Amino acid sequence: MKREDIERIAAELNELKCKTQKEVEEARIRFLGKKGEVTRLFEEFRALDKDLKREFGKTLNDLKQMVTNRIEEMKDSVGGEVAEEGPKQDLSMPGDPYELGSRHPVSIVRQQIVDIFRKFGYDVAEGPEIEDDYHVFEALNFPANHPARDMQDTFFVSAGHLNPLLLRTHTSSVQVRTMEKMPLPIRVVCPGRVFRNEAISARAHCIFHQIEGLYIDENVTFADLKQALLLFAREMFGPDTQIRMRPSYFPFTEPSTEVDVSCNICHGKGCNVCKGTGWLEILGAGMVDPNVLEASGIDSKKYSGFAFGMGLERIAMLKWQVNDLRHYFENDMRFLGEFRTAPEV
Ligand code: PHE
C-alpha cells in the first residue's frame, strides 16, 4: 500500500462529476464495489504488519468516509430518470406564454354606456332573465292580444296559466321591478341579456343584449329626454354628433320615439353603413305611459318620467362596423382577438 494510491483516489474523487444517477452508481461501484479501488486498499491493508496498519488505518477510514459522503451527496443532487435519457434541461428557456384574454366587444360597449350614465347620476339595476308575463308585458301596458306576446316572439318556459314564465324579450321588465321597490326619484340603467324567438341570421339573433334607462321624478319632460340622449350620443359617438327623433310606438311610452344619430363614419354625407341616409338608428325611447307608472304604484299626477332602450350588439356593430351579428356569439378567437387593443376597458 502506498500513500500515493490514497492521494490519487482522493484527487479523482475531487474531479468526479456525475450528471446522472447512472453515473453516480458507476462511480460507487468503481470506488466502493466488491472490486472497487477503496475496497482493494482495505484488502491490502489487512496484509500489512502492525506498524504500517497504525500508519494507514485512520487515513484509509477517512478516505472511505469521504468517498461514501461524496457518492451520497451526488445521489441527492443529480436529477432523476428524466435527466438520464431525455434532453438536457435548459432552465433559461422562456416558459409557454399565457394567451391573454380580452373583453368581449359587447362588454366594452356596455361598460362605456354604463360609465356615461353613471356620470349623469344613474345607478345600475339588474333583474332576472327568466321573468313572468306580468313584468315583461302586463305591467308595461301591453294589451292582452298584443302581437309581441305571440309565441313567435317569446320563448315561454311555462305556459297555460295566467302569469306564465318566459325568457324576457326586453330589459324593460327591470324598469318595472325598479319602480316597484326603489324610492323616488329613480334614475337607473338596466343592462342585460334578452331573448326573442327569431331565426338566426346576420341581422337577427335569438339572444342579444340591451341597456335600458329610466328616469322618474316630478316635472320630467320630453325636453329632458332629448337633452339626456343628446349628451349621451355626444359622449358615445363624438362631440359633433347630432340626434334626430322620429315618432314611433311602444305600449309603455307615450309619446314614443325612435332616435337616430348622425353617421359618425361619413359625417352625414351618406355611406354603406348608414345606407346613404347620413343617419343611424340606435334606440327607442319615450315618456313613461301613466298606466305604467300607476301599475307600479307611482302617482302619475305627481310624477312623470322617460325611458329609453338600445341594443348593445347594434351599437358595437356601428362602432366597429361588424356586419354579421352571429360573430358576437360564436366565440371565434380570431374575432374576439380583434378587440385586444380596444381602448376604454
Ligand atoms: N323595450 C323596447 C324594445 O325592446 C325599447 C324601449 C325601451 C323603447 C324604453 C322605449 C322605451 O324594443
pLDDT for 309-328, tens place per residue?
A: 999 999 998 888 888 889 99
One domain, residues 266 and 213: yes
Q: How far apart are CA 157 and CA 221, in angstroms?
A: 38
Q: In what order do the strands lie in the sheet with 123-124?
A: 123-124, 186-195, 207-218, 303-311, 279-288, 253-262, 243-250
One domain, residues 128 and 255: yes
One domain, residues 233 and 310: yes
Q: pLDDT value at position 309? A: 97
Higher pLDDT, 116 or 146: 116
- Interval between CA 308 and ligand 1 midpoint (Å): 6
* Last-in-domain residue among 60, 78, 96: 78
One domain, residues 182 and 258: yes
- Let me know if residue 96 belongs to a domain: no
- Let me know if residue 92 belongs to a domain: no
One domain, residues 283 and 156: yes
The structural domain count of the chain equals: 2
One domain, residues 183 and 293: yes
pLDDT for 224-234, tens place per residue?
A: 999 999 999 99
Of the pLDDT bands very low, low, confident and very high (cuts 50, 70, 90), residue 48 is confident
Q: Whose CA is nearest to atom 6 of ligand 1?
A: 309
Q: pLDDT value at position 303? A: 97
Q: How far apart are CA 247 and CA 334, in angstroms?
A: 40
Dig out the grid coordinates for 63 from the structure.
478516505
Name which of 135, 196, 155 is nearest 325 in CA terms: 196
- Let me know if residue 168 belongs to a domain: yes
Q: In degrees rounded to 5, what are phi and psi of residue 145?
A: -105, 20
Mutate to test the pocket of ligand 1, among 136, 140, 205, 250 (most ligand atoms within 8 A of CB): 250
Flag the least confident range among 126-130, 247-251, 261-265.
261-265
Distances from the Cα of 141 to the Cαs of 176, 252, 286, 292, 294, in angstroms?
A: 11, 5, 14, 6, 10
Q: Which atom of ligand 1 is nearest to the CA of 306?
A: 11
Q: What is the CATH number of the domain that holds 156?
A: 3.30.930.10
pLDDT for 147-161, tens place per residue?
A: 767 756 889 998 777
- Let me know if residue 98 belongs to a domain: no
One domain, residues 32 and 152: no
Task: Please work out whether the CB of residue 170 comes within 6 Å of at least one atom of ligand 1.
Answer: yes
One domain, residues 322 and 212: yes
- Let me know if residue 293 belongs to a domain: yes
pLDDT for 66-121, tens place per residue?
A: 889 988 888 888 865 544 556 778 888 888 888 778 889 999 999 999 999 999 99
Alpha helices in the chain (DSSP H): 3-15, 21-32, 37-46, 50-77, 81-85, 105-119, 133-136, 172-181, 222-237, 290-295, 312-320, 333-336
Domain encompassing residue 272: 105-339
pLDDT for 206-261, tens place per residue?
A: 999 999 999 999 999 999 999 999 999 999 999 999 999 999 999 999 999 999 99
Q: pLDDT value at position 345? A: 45
Q: Which atom of ligand 1 is nearest to the CA of 170?
A: 4
Name which of 153, 113, 147 is nearest 309 in CA terms: 113
Residue-averaged pLDDT of the chain: 89
Q: In degrees rounded to 5, what are phi and psi of residue 156?
A: -90, 140
Task: Please work out whether the CB of residue 286 comes within 6 Å of at least one atom of ligand 1.
Answer: yes
- Let me know if residue 251 belongs to a domain: yes
Q: pLDDT value at position 177? A: 96
One domain, residues 70 and 112: no
One domain, residues 68 and 189: no
- Interval between CA 151 and ligand 1 midpoint (Å): 19
Task: Please work out whether the CB of residue 312 comes within 6 Å of at least one atom of ligand 1.
Answer: no
Task: Please work out whether the CB of residue 285 comes within 6 Å of at least one atom of ligand 1.
Answer: yes
- Let me know if residue 303 belongs to a domain: yes
One domain, residues 148 and 285: yes
Task: Please work out whether the CB of residue 257 comes within 6 Å of at least one atom of ligand 1.
Answer: no
pLDDT for 275-290, tens place per residue?
A: 889 999 999 999 999 9
Percentage of the chain beyond pLDDT 90 is 51
- Let me know if residue 97 belongs to a domain: no
One domain, residues 73 and 119: no
Q: Whose CA is nearest to atom 10 of ligand 1?
A: 285
Task: Please work out whether the CB of residue 253 comes within 6 Å of at least one atom of ligand 1.
Answer: yes
- pTM metric for this prediction: 0.71
Q: pLDDT value at position 218? A: 97
- Interval between CA 285 and ligand 1 midpoint (Å): 6
